[in-house]
Every structure is written in structure tokens, then in C-alpha cells.
A and B are shown apart, each in its own frame.
Chain A
Amino acid sequence: MASDKSEKRRIHWQKTRNLTIVVLIIWFIFAFVLPWFAKDLNAFTFLGFKLGYYFVVQGSLIVFVLLIIVQNLRQDAIDDEFGSGE
């Protein structure tokens, strides 16, 4: 039984880690890449905002909120799959 439990834990952690990596990649894009290229993005307009400006004052912020919500839903699903009866 002990090895069964540790095997379950290993897979659970693997999935958790993969999810975390995906989240961090998306985070990196909206936190650093888009603001870095704000000058170039400003060539476009969105809702009357210059696009580079939009991301920095609002767009990336919305993405961060959604990112946390989606990550938590995914993580809950992973936990449930491995029988985390909280």
C-alpha cells in the first residue's frame, strides 16, 4: 500500500508541476514580454486604447486574475482525481 500511495503522489505532483509551468509561461508573457514591446504594440488600437498601453494598465491585470482562477479550477480537478477529499 505504501508504494501505491507514493506512486499516486508522484503522478499527482507531476501533474501539479506541469500545470504550474504552463501558468508561469503565460504569466511571463503578460508580465514581461508584452510590456517590453509596448512601443511596438502601440501601433495597434483596442477599445480606443493604444494596445501597448492597454496591456500595461488593464489587459495583463485581467489575464492575471483569470490565470489564477483557471489554475485553481485545474488544480482542484487534479486533486479530485487523486482522491483529495478535503
Chain B
Amino acid sequence: MAMKESDRGSAFLDNLGKVYGFYTLGFLGFFLLMALLEQVGVGAKTIGILFLLFTIAIYAGIGWLSRTMQVDAYYVAGRQVPALYNGMATAADWMSGASFVALAGGIYFGGYPYLGFVIGWTGGYVLVNALMAPYLRKFGCYTVPDFIGTRYGGNTARFCAVVVLVVASFTYVTAQINATGTIASRALGIPFEIGVWFGLLGILLCSMLGGMRGVTWTQVAQYIVLIIAYLVPVIWMSNAQGFGVIPHFSYGEAAQRIAELEGQFGLHPAAESVAGVKVLTTAHFDPKGGFDSWKFVTLALCMMAGTASLPHILMRYFTTPSVRAARKSVGWSLFFIFLLYCTAPALATLTKLQLLDPTLPTAVIGQAYETVSNLDWVKNWSEVGMLAVADQNNDGVVQLNEFFMRPDIVVLATPEIAGLPYVISGLVAAGGMAAAMSTADGLLLAIANALSHDLYYKIIDPKADTKIRLMVARVLLVVIGATAALVASLKLTGILGAVAWAFCFACSGLFFPLVLGIWWKRANRAGAIAGMVGGFAVGTWYLYMVYTGAMEPWFGIDHLRFGIIGMPVSLIAMIVVSLMTAPPDEEMQAMVDEVRDPTGPTILGREH
């Protein structure tokens, strides 16, 4: 090693702006090179492969450069990540395959109730900032169970938090590895089952050597790729349709035009359904009030509380240099997330208009069946069973209820639908891969760290030395990653369902024990355990009953929203049990006062 680890680290930190500036320019240069190659006749397939391999090679390089043998670098990136960059890393950590690939498609098909995800996944950060992040940073923990275990004391509370964390994060990570597998298999032309392992390899290259430090700096790089990949097609489409360079302030008319066209074509269920794909039956935006509003706010609430309790997000705020920087970086995080989330509805709207509006050359609805079924992109996606056009009423015209699509493909297919060059599709695939990889990395690390730090080091072998601890952490990372890839290759759940479940698990079990640990001094160990066990168990029971159909959902609270059942149980159990048992001792109460004061040293030592 030519340079010592600490020298290498500080030289890098001093030049962050330059490093990522060059990186961004380099990526844009690569994009132009690919566009050039397409012009001179290099095949679409080759371009797709180059995009994927090039970006993954860069992430792996960053992962290698960030390797470390120090505990605080491995667990919290040495607490040296500036607010702006932590914001970008959090945004990548946060925006998963579901946000990148599935969100716009969900809005396309789901209309008003579905937009609860958009509000929920942004508004949650207000809770993170107001209730959690600054205080957890002051606490100085390595993991979320570390906070629970120290604040409430005792291994039982710590263990309960580890269980909730593992269940929530594992549910989430299988969906992400599933997404990397889907993208890799399509771009590289390999079977899905192998694509999953390829995706896992990329993920481990980023996280294994450098832990949190490696994940942080690859996530920043991944954010840059994913946001470029998301914005370029939308801006391109907007220009083609005459909505200006930045469509965000002008697509309102497009939405109104869609409402008009929907009225004209009629929103009817398909005469004959086709497996795996669906037709548009929900209006673009037509809130009915009452029950519709209820569905919206319950979904939004689960997603917000879940945001504020998902450990892979909270642990990102442990990496900033100070409490103030932690708060600032929540602001940056939401800003970077906002860039994508306010674009998703625009993308859904513009893509839908492309398909519906007969005055646009890309329209398919209301056009001759002969022409539409022979379009290249229709043929490509039909071959893999993700799209279908069927003239079910034999009038020779494609009706709105004769155009079938899998919601997940809206983002990936948009460049082709809008007739953009293939290089854009390659870019979008690289973006989707970045989104899924970065989230999977954060989640795997959250799980492995909780098991290695909280279960192994704090509970099983508190005398273990640094070397052993870091080795255990890395072995666990590989084992959990492999298990997740194995589960993902079984294709048990869809991407979006699994993600919503993860949020509900997290908010059912962890939201109130975390919030009240800071905001209610009287909260004690027995209460916290009751809150975690009660909320998590009842939520899981409800999910099981509703999902298997053993029980009718109460008040329309379906399996995507089971946190609405788990959270109140958790809150009530925690308050009642806390009040029935003795208040926490003086030392514990003093610790809470200390957490609320932004000055002074952290509660837990720098290395613990």
C-alpha cells in the first residue's frame, strides 16, 4: 500500500467536488460515445451490455478504493460524510428499483389512490428530520438496534429490534435483487436465475471491502447515474410534445387532455383478460372523495412512518460529522429525492398521452390493429410477455381496453414508445440497475451490521476484537446476500408489494419505540419490548389473515397498509406497559436529556 488508509481518505474528502464532477462528465462522455456508436451502426444489444458493465465496473472500483479495516469506517463511514453527499447517498439508498422502475407505471395504472406512495415517500422525511435523525446522530450509535439496546437497556430490547430490522429489510432486499436480476437478464441476455447472481456480485463488490464507507461513495455515484437516466427521457419527450424543456410546470394541460381522451375512449375492463398484463381501467386522476381519500391517506401514513423507521435510511444519518450536518443532510436527501418523485407523475402523464393522443405520431389507441401490432417495440415487449395487443372485438382498431401492459415496464419502455434512440434505453437500464443496486447495498449492510454488531458483538461475544468483528460482518454480508438472491430467484413476490410490506413491518415494530425513546422520558424497557412485539406480531398476523384471504380486510385496509393495524397496537402497548411498570432510572433519564441537547460528545463512544 503506497498511502496509509487515513491519508488516502482525507485526500479524497478534500476533493469530493472535483472527483464527482469529473465522474459526472465522464459518464456524460460515455453516454455520447454510446450515442456515436449507435450512429455508426453498433447493435442495440452491445450498447446495453456496455452501459451495464461500464457503470458496474466504476462502482466496483469505488468499492475497492474505499476498503477499510477500521470499525467506525466500516459501520458509519468514519462519520465524515458532508451533508450534501450524504443527501445524495441517502437518495440513492432510498430510491429503489420500485421507485425507479415501478413508480411511474403504478401512477399510470393506479390513478389517485396510488399517488399516496408519492406523498408518503416524500413526506416521511419531514418525520425523519423532526423526530429522528438529529437525535440518533447525537446518540452516536452504529445501528438502529444499538439505539434501542442502549436507550432501553438489556439484550431483549436489542434483540427484538434486530428481529424487526431483519424481517423488514430482508423483505425489501429480495425485491431489489429481483429487480437487478430482471435488468441484468434483459440487458445481457442471460436467464433471470443467473441474472440475480450477477446482480448480487455487483452489489457485494460495492459493500464488502469498505462497509458503510464503500456503500456511501458508490451510492453517490449511483445517484448521479440514476437521476440523469430518469430525467433525460422525460425532458426529451416533453420537447417532442411541445411542453417545453422542463415539463414539470406545464404538464397540467396534458393531464386534462388525458381526462378528455379517457372519456372519449371509455375506461372499460378487457373483454378477455391476458395473464400478467393489464389494461387501463382507472382514470388518470379522478378522486371520488370518501373511501378513495381514506385509501390514499392510510397508504401515505404507512409509507411515511415506515420511512422514519427503516434502518437502512436512519443509519445514513449516523455518518455525518455533526448533529447539524445530519439535519442539513435530511434536507438535501429530500431535495434529491424530490427531483425524481416530482418527475414520475410527469413521466406517467406524458407517456400515456403518447399512447392515447391521436394527434401524436406515437399514438396506438384508436389506430389500426395491423399497424400497431407490427410496431417494433410492441413486438419486442410482446415476445417477453410484458405487453399484448389483441383485437378482441374484431373491429380492426386498437381500443383502450385492448392494449395490455405490465405496469413495471412503463419506465423501461418509455424511450421506445416515444421513438427515442436505443442509447436512451441503455441509459435507463443503467439507471434502474443503479437504483436497485444502491438500495440493495444499504439494506444488506443494515442487516449484516445489525447481526454482526448487535447480535454477535453486543450479545454473543462482547470481547471479540476488531479483526474478528469485521470478518464476521463481511461473512454475514455474503451469506445474507446469497440467501436473498436465492429467495429472489424463486420469484415469490412482485417488486412493489414486497416494498410496501417492508415499510409496514418497520413502522409496526420500530416507529413508536424509536420516537418515544427520544420524545417520552417515561418510556421504559418493558414498554418498548411490548411495543415492538405487540405491533410487529399483530401487524404480521393481520397481513397473514388478509393476504391469504382468511379474513375480510377491516375498513378496506388491505395487505399493502397493514401498518395501520400494527402501529396503534404498538403505541398503546408501549404506553400502557410503560405506565404499569417502574419508570426508567435516573441514569436513563439523564441519557434522554443528553440526546436532546445537540452539544457535547455522543452518548456512545467513537468506537464501541
Which of the residues B112, B122, B289 comes within 8 Å of A61, measured between beta carbons?
A: B122
With a cutoff of 8 Å between Cβ atoms, the chain B residues found around residue A75 in the complex are 134, 327
Residue from A64, A75, A86 having most chain B Cβ neighbours under 10 A: A64
Cβ-based interface call for B123 (8 A): yes
In the complex, the answer to whether B599 meets A86 with C-beta atoms within 8 Å is yes
Interface residues of A in 3-51 (CB under 8 A from B): 6, 9, 12-13, 16, 20, 23-24, 27, 30-32, 35-40, 42, 45-50
Residues of B within 8 A of A32 (CB): 297, 300-301
Q: Which of B246-254, B413-421, B549-557 contacts its partner?
A: B246-254
List B571-608 residues whose CB lies under 8 Å from chain A. Answer: 593, 596-599
Cβ–Cβ contact A64 & B123, under 8 A: yes
**Mask for B192-234, Cβ within 8 A of A = 1, else 0?**
0000000000000000000000000000000000000000000
User: How far is B129's CA from A36's CA once the two chains are assembled, in angstroms?
Assistant: 24
A20-B131, A53-B252 are contacts. A12–B297 as well, Cβ < 8 Å? Answer: no
Residue B502, interface by CB 8 Å: no
Is B122's CB under 8 angstroms from A64's CB?
A: yes
Contacts of A31 in B (CB 8 A): 119, 123, 126, 300, 304
Interface bits B252-268 vs A (CB < 8 Å: 1, else 0):
11011000000000000
Check if B293 is an interface residue, CB within 8 A of chain A.
yes
CB distance from A85 to the nearest CB of B (A): 7
- In the assembly, what is the distance between CA of A11 and CA of B448, in Å? 40
C-alpha gap A80/B134 in the complex (Å): 15
> In the complex, which of the residues A38, A45, A71 has the most CB atoms of chain B within 10 Å of its own CB atom?
A38
> Nearest residue in B to A60 (C-beta to C-beta)?
B119
Residues of B within 8 A of A27 (CB): 123, 126-127, 130
Residue of A nearest to B259 (CB): A50
A25–B487 CA distance with the chains assembled, in angstroms: 42
Which residue of A has the minimal Cβ distance to B327?
A72
Contact between B287 and A49, CB atoms less than 8 A apart: no
Find A48's partner among B115, B250, B297, B330 (CB 8 Å cutoff): B250
Closest to B128 in A: A68
| Distance in angstroms between the alpha carbons of A40 and B529 in the assembled complex | 43
Does B335 interact with chain A (Cβ within 8 Å)? yes
**A42 cross-chain contacts in B, Cβ below 8 A:** 285, 287
Alpha-carbon gap, A74 to B554, bound state (A):
42
Determine the chain A residues whose CB is within 8 A of the CB of B598 once the complex forms.
79, 84, 86
Nearest-Cβ distance from residue B322 to partner chain A, whole angstroms: 5
- Contact partners of A56 in chain B: CB under 8 A: 112, 115, 118-119, 285
Say if the beta carbon of B538 comes within 8 Å of chain A: no
Stretch at the interface among B69-77, B338-346, B353-361, B469-477: B338-346
Q: Quick one: closest B residue to A45, CB to CB? A: B252
CB-nearest residue of chain A relative to B328? A72
Contacting residues, chain A, for B288 (C-beta < 8 A) = 39
Min CB distance A72 to B, Å, is 5
Q: For residue B121, which residue of chain A has the nearest CB?
A: A61
* Known contacts A50-B252, A72-B331, A38 near B287 by CB under 8 Å: yes
Tell me whether B397 is interfacial, beta carbon within 8 Å: no
Task: Find chain A residues with CB under 8 A from B252 CB.
Answer: 45-50, 53-54
A76 to B327, CA, bound (A): 10
A36 in contact with B125 (CB, 8 Å)? no
The answer to whether the Cβ of B324 comes within 8 Å of any Cβ in the partner chain is: yes
* Nearest Cβ on chain B to A30's Cβ, whole angstroms: 7
Is B500 located at the chain interface by the 8 A CB criterion?
A: no
Q: By the criterion CB–CB under 8 Å, are B285 and A24 in contact?
A: no
B279 interfacial contact with A, CB 8 Å: no
| Inter-subunit contact A84/B126 (CB<8 Å) | no
Q: Could you say which residues of chain B place their CB within 8 Å of the CB of A48?
A: 250, 252-253, 256
How far is A54 from B123 in the complex, measured between Cα atoms in Å?
Answer: 15
Is the C-beta of B424 less than 8 angstroms from some C-beta in chain A?
Answer: no
The interface centre, meaning the residue of A24, A61, A62 with most chain B CB atoms within 10 A of its CB, is A61
Interface residue from B285, B292, B331 paired with A68 (Cβ < 8 Å): B331
Q: Do B327 and A53 touch (CB < 8 A)?
A: no
Task: List, in ascending order, chain B residues with CB within 8 A of A49's CB.
Answer: 252, 255
- Which residue on chain A has the smallest CB distance to residue B321? A86
Q: Is there an interface contact between A84 and B599, defined as CB atoms closer than 8 Å?
A: yes
B597 touching A12, Cβ below 8 Å: yes
In contact, B300 and A58 (Cβ under 8 angstroms): no
Instruction: Contact check, A38 vs B342: say whether CB atoms are below 8 A apart.
Output: no
Q: Answer yes or no: B52 CB below 8 A from chain A CBs.
A: no
In the bound assembly, the distance between CA atoms of A31 and B335 in angstroms comes to: 17
Cβ of B162 within 8 Å of any chain A Cβ, yes or no, is: no
The answer, yes or no, to whether B398 is at the interface (CB within 8 Å) is no
Scoring B residues 317 to 353 as 1 if CB is less than 8 Å from chain A, else 0, what string do you get?
0000011100110110011001001100110000000
For the complex, give the distance between the alpha carbons of A61 and B331 in Å: 12
A1 at the B interface (CB under 8 A):
no
Query: 30 A-B Cβ contacts within 8 A?
Result: A6-B593, A13-B593, A23-B130, A24-B130, A27-B127, A31-B119, A31-B123, A31-B300, A32-B301, A35-B293, A35-B296, A36-B297, A37-B289, A38-B296, A39-B288, A39-B289, A39-B292, A53-B255, A56-B115, A58-B342, A60-B123, A61-B122, A61-B342, A64-B334, A71-B130, A72-B129, A72-B328, A79-B598, A84-B599, A86-B599
B residues lining the A interface (CB < 8 Å): 112, 115-116, 118-119, 122-123, 125-127, 129-131, 134, 248-250, 252-253, 255-256, 285, 287-289, 292-293, 296-297, 300-301, 304, 322-324, 327-328, 330-331, 334-335, 338, 341-342, 345-346, 593, 596-599
Beyond A9-B596, A39-B292, A67-B126, list 17 extra A-B contacts (CB 8 Å).
A9-B593, A16-B596, A20-B131, A32-B301, A35-B296, A39-B289, A48-B253, A49-B252, A52-B287, A56-B115, A57-B342, A61-B118, A61-B122, A71-B129, A83-B599, A84-B597, A86-B598
Closest 8 CB pairs of A and B: A49-B252, A48-B252, A57-B345, A38-B287, A39-B289, A31-B123, A39-B287, A36-B293
